[in-house]
Amino acid sequence: MKRSRIIGTGSYVPARVLTNHDLAKLIDTSDAWITERTGIKERRIAGPDETTSELALRAARLALGAAHVKPRDIDLVLVATATPDMFFPATACLVQDRLGVRPGPAFDISAACSGFIYGLSVADQYIKTGAARTVLLVGAELFSRIVDWTDRSTCVLFGDGAGAVVLRADSTKHGLLSVHLHADGSQWELLNVPSVGSQPLTALDQVRAAKTAPRPQTIRMKGNETFRVAVRTLEQAAREALEANQLDASDIALLIPHQANMRIIQATAKRLGLPMSRVFVNLDRYGNTSAASIPIALDEAVREHRLSEGELVLFEAFGGGLTWGSAVVRW
Ligand code: ACO
């Protein structure tokens, strides 16, 4: 049976570091509060000329290099992002052009923080059906442009960055064993960026938006509720992945969760009975980079030699939509 195997990873984060101490000079917050409630110490912020496609391109080039794959060998370009450069064209088209990939399909995936896992599923369908042999999947975000920098309850959480993987059809036992995806649109209000899309603002909304923060094109989040749903849902997603593969948590060499909040990650690990030594965490340095967080973490795990051939890695994510999902890969 054909499997989708990750044959190369790459990541890129902007050079500018914004620490909690820097933030405390701008808004009413403190390093102690942010560290205790989230585990985040600093995040990266893109320069004024950097765009999501630029971050994606840099991560993609590194992934192609690691995979020893030429742009002309790519059959499909996918970019998971909630912060595309433009409404259209898709950021994937901009990446395809600048990489010099031939004109096969290229499109974006909008599933907020679950975007990378949604992307794995799409790539896997193309590969399993034979529609593509080699797929470039990038998670790239520039959340610093869509946070309200006057709202301390959200602006401390997010950062910019991109991570990429190259997947190729493989007939060995290595590769993607399963992907499970879910969405519950009825809970869209927990986490959203209203009115950057085609949804019209009512007159009342316009008045409210003009008078009160947050600005309509920035993130709104019901943090407490989101937190509770996230912990419950991530445990379910992980268990679904384990059961589908007849695995026990002890079989997992490394859990790479979406990096949203240290307390969410710890609570999920505890519920699964996984020691934190087998959970990859880098949100202290990057904050929540949404769809980029898992591929950045995976790339760092690879570079730190945290995964050996044949070991099992579990990905899980949760985000706006609501969307959530999990995937198991035999490395
Ligand atoms: N600094 C200092 N104080 C703050 C800050 C801050 N940055 N932010 C909020 N506070 C205050 C609040 O005003 C409140 O004060 P009050 O008690 O006087 O009213 C107090 O701290 C407690 O606020 P809570 O919101 O109850 O704090 P909580 O412990 O819930 O932490 C947080 C907030 C970190 C946002 C948490 O709820 C969380 O992580 N939620 C989940 C977010 C998430 O995971 N999103 C995932 C997906 S993201 C995506 O899909 C794009």
- Across 146-159, average pLDDT: 94
The whole-model pTM stands at: 0.94
Please give the number of the atom of ligand 1 that sits closest to the Cα of 23: 7
- pLDDT on residue 216: 60
- pLDDT on residue 194: 83
3-state helix/strand/coil string of 92-112: HHHHHHHHCCCCCCEEEECCH
- CA–centroid distance, 81 to ligand 1, in Å, is 23
CB distance 80 to 118 below 8 Å = yes
Please give the number of the atom of ligand 1 that sits closest to the Cα of 226: 41
Instruction: Say yes or no to pLDDT of 211 above 90.
Output: no
> 36-40, 134-138, 193-197: which range is least confident on average?
193-197
- pLDDT on residue 201: 53
- pLDDT on residue 195: 63
- pLDDT on residue 196: 56
- Across 274-299, average pLDDT: 98
What are 112's two structure tokens? 């907020």
The pLDDT confidence band at residue 206, using thresholds 50, 70 and 90, is low
The pLDDT confidence band at residue 217, using thresholds 50, 70 and 90, is confident
CB distance 288 to 317 below 8 Å = no
Place of tokens 């590969």: 127
Q: Kindly name the residue from 20, 261, 282, 288 that is annotated as catalytic.
A: 288
- CA–centroid distance, 293 to ligand 1, in Å, is 20
Among residues 330, 319, 292, 308, the alpha carbon closest in space to that of 44 is found at 292
User: Which contiguous run of DSSP H or E holds residue 89?
Assistant: none
